[in-house]
Amino acid sequence: MTRLETIQNMYGWAGFVYALDACKSRSDMAAVFAAMKAKGARSIITFDYCDNAAFGRDLLNAVNDSDIYIFPQHYSYENNFKNAGLDIPVSISELAYGWQQAGDFSAVQNALDLFMINNFPYFAQNAEEGGSSSTWSKFINDMNYYVSIANGKPLVVTQTVWPSNEDEFAPNSPNIVVNAQSGQDNWNLWMVIVPIFSNPTTSCGCGEIGMIKW
Q: Residue 206 pLDDT > 60, yes or no?
A: no
- The answer to whether the CB of 121 falls within 8 A of the CB of 103 is no
- The answer to whether the CB of 4 falls within 8 A of the CB of 114 is yes
Amino acid at 56: G
Determine the average pLDDT of the residues in 78-83.
Answer: 64
Each residue of 105-127: pLDDT tens digit?
999 999 888 898 889 999 999 99
CATH topology of domain 1-90: Transcription Regulator spoIIAA (3.30.750)
Q: What is the pLDDT of residue 212?
A: 37
Distance CA 214, CA 13 (A): 5
Name the more confident of 191 and 165.
Answer: 165
> Within the chain, which residue ranges are assigned CATH 3.30.750?
1-90
Each residue of 134-156: pLDDT tens digit?
999 999 899 899 999 999 888 88
- DSSP symbol at 161: -
